[in-house]
Amino acid sequence: MSTILVTGGAGFIGSHVAEELLRRGHRVVALDDLSGGFIDNLVDGIKFVKGSILDKELIEELFLREKFDYVYHLAAYAAEGLSHFIRHYNYMNNLIGSMNLINAAINASVKLFVFTSSIAVYGSSPELPMTEETVTRPEDPYGVAKLAVEFDLKAAHEMFGLDYVIFRPHNVYGERQNIGDKYRNVVGIFMNQILQGIPMTIFGDGSQTRAFSYIGDAAPIMADAICTPNARNQIINIGADQPYSVRDLAYAVARAMGVSPNIAYLPARNEVVNAYSSHAKMAQIFGKRPSTSLEAGLERMADWVYRHGARASSKFESIEVLKNFPRAWLPERSVDIST
């Protein structure tokens, strides 16, 4: 039995990965500051530690006490569009916090560091679907931070022998998602708007495309990384293959929630128009896995949403940059954001 740290372990993806690791017989410690996670996301048997990856003393003490064999680093604030306007917050949480963990992992001789990067590292690409060899040109601070951590892990491997696996997931949705966060995770945003009886809001005409990935497909593969030798020191796209327009997604969400589609179109914002990736490498390394259709995944999430309701968003004191801030995100002078 190995001892494994999962940062962001009470969050959406983190809690599912932690549960999968526990199911495989490992001892799992979930570290989370509960800024975006919830204790009730954790199943029995997972040890919970409340704390931030920015707390160097806590990280060092935790690694010394628990003697981790493996680290899964999922703690992040994954809001691509919003990251333009919270640059300091973005880099502190998504980059500096990651460095604290990598330092601790090196000093503790951790066997493998599993990192969740993002499809955001690619930016806009004429190559679709994007492969792991596609040139990375991130267009937002979130993608820049994720790519910087990828480079640092490669450097840490070359200098210190720290093995790693980098996953680049995209548009993951499903049970336990914080649908109260209005700045990220479009499926959750749509479902929360339906619960409130207000229109689903789409920036632009809704023709932008994404491949929406069900958490029940992604989490088991991520959990298998520590026992898959061919995954070591590799970058791996993970997610669904079939792209959909955001407009088509809105209609699919409405069907899953059992309501008629009600859509409000907002002025377009600065975002990548088409973003979806190839998963041939993932299949080669982990074997062909079953894939949940968008309709089936949305139905499962809708059932969970109706049983659990919306999550309340915590407050962020202020946006750091107000220039060009989307009006739809600024309904009043005092701005609240989910963290």
SS (H, E, C) the chain: CCEEEEECCCCHHHHHHHHHHHHCCCEEEEEECCCCCCHHHCCCCCEEEECCCCCHHHHHHHHHHHCCCEEEECCCCCCHHHHCCCHHHHHHHHHHHHHHHHHHHHHCCCCEEEEECCHHHCCCCCCCCECCCCCCCCCCHHHHHHHHHHHHHHHHHHHHCCCEEEEEECCEECCCCCCCCCCCCHHHHHHHHHHHCCCEEEECCCCCEECCEEHHHHHHHHHHHHHCHHHCCEEEEECCCCCEEHHHHHHHHHHHHCCCCCEEEECCCCCCCEECECCHHHHHHHCCCCCCCHHHHHHHHHHHHHHHCCCCCCCCCCCCCCCCCCHHHCCCCCCCCCC
pLDDT of residue 317: 63
In the predicted structure, residue 222 carries a pLDDT above the cut 60: yes
Residue type at position 227: C
Query: 181 falls in which pLDDT band (50, 70, 90)?
Result: confident
Q: Domain check: are 95 and 124 in the same one?
A: yes
Q: Domain check: are 186 and 304 in the same one?
A: yes
Query: 200 falls in which pLDDT band (50, 70, 90)?
Result: very high
Q: Domain check: are 141 and 205 in the same one?
A: no
Query: In this structure, what CATH number is given to the domain that contains residue 161?
Result: 3.40.50.720
Average pLDDT over residues 73-89: 93
Give the residue with greater pLDDT, 335 vs 35: 35
pLDDT of residue 32: 98
In the predicted structure, residue 313 carries a pLDDT above the cut 80: no
Q: Domain check: are 165 and 31 in the same one?
A: yes
Round to whole Å and give the CA distance between 114 and 75: 12
Residue owning tokens 């980059």: 95
Token couple for 335: 């701005």
In the predicted structure, residue 329 carries a pLDDT above the cut 90: no
Query: 78 falls in which pLDDT band (50, 70, 90)?
Result: confident
**In this structure, is residue 285 part of a structural domain?**
no
**In this structure, is residue 334 part of a structural domain?**
no
**Considering only 125-129, 238-242, 297-301, which range has the smallest mean pLDDT?**
125-129
Round to whole Å and give the CA distance between 188 and 177: 7
pLDDT of residue 92: 97
pLDDT of residue 336: 39
Query: In this structure, what CATH number is given to the domain that contains residue 190?
Result: 3.90.25.10
**Which residues have C-beta within 8 Å of that of residue 129, sequence separation ≥ 6?**
211, 241, 243, 276, 277, 278
Direct distance between the N- and C-terminal alpha carbons of the chain, in angstroms, rounded to an integer: 33
Round to whole Å and give the CA distance between 338 and 19: 24
Are the CB atoms for 210 and 246 separated by under 8 Å? yes
**In this structure, is residue 68 part of a structural domain?**
yes
Q: Domain check: are 14 and 163 in the same one?
A: yes
Question: What number of other Cβ atoms are within 10 A of residue 258's Cβ?
Answer: 10
Residue type at position 287: G
- Which domain does 309 fall in, by range? 179-211+243-276+293-323
**In this structure, is residue 329 part of a structural domain?**
no
Q: Domain check: are 152 and 186 in the same one?
A: no
Average pLDDT over residues 90-108: 98
Query: 180 falls in which pLDDT band (50, 70, 90)?
Result: confident
In the predicted structure, residue 291 carries a pLDDT above the cut 50: yes
Phi, psi of 220 (to 5 degrees): -60, -40
Q: Domain check: are 28 and 144 in the same one?
A: yes
Q: In sequence order, what are the beta bridge partners of 172?
A: 213
**Considering only 7-11, 51-55, 293-297, 318-322, which range has the smallest mean pLDDT?**
318-322
Average pLDDT over residues 270-288: 94
Q: In sequence order, what are the beta bridge partners of 168?
A: 237
In the predicted structure, residue 316 carries a pLDDT above the cut 80: no
Average pLDDT over residues 9-24: 98
Q: Domain check: are 167 and 250 in the same one?
A: no
pLDDT of residue 335: 39
Q: Domain check: are 258 and 220 in the same one?
A: no
Share of the chain above pLDDT 90, in %: 86
Share of the chain above pLDDT 70, in %: 95
**In this structure, is residue 307 part of a structural domain?**
yes
Closest of 32, 3, 27, 1 to residue 15, by C-alpha: 32
Round to whole Å and give the CA distance between 83 and 228: 33
**In this structure, is residue 18 part of a structural domain?**
yes
**In this structure, is residue 129 part of a structural domain?**
yes
Q: Domain check: are 60 and 30 in the same one?
A: yes
* pLDDT, the chain, mean: 93
Question: What number of other Cβ atoms are within 10 A of residue 199's Cβ?
Answer: 16
CA dihedral angle for residue 317, residue 322, residue 324, residue 325, rounded to 10 degrees:
20
Q: Domain check: are 146 and 191 in the same one?
A: no
**In this structure, is residue 330 part of a structural domain?**
no
Average pLDDT over residues 94-100: 98
Query: 182 falls in which pLDDT band (50, 70, 90)?
Result: confident
Are the CB atoms for 260 and 301 separated by under 8 Å? no
The domain total for the chain is: 2
pLDDT of residue 243: 96
In the predicted structure, residue 334 carries a pLDDT above the cut 50: no
Q: Domain check: are 43 and 150 in the same one?
A: yes
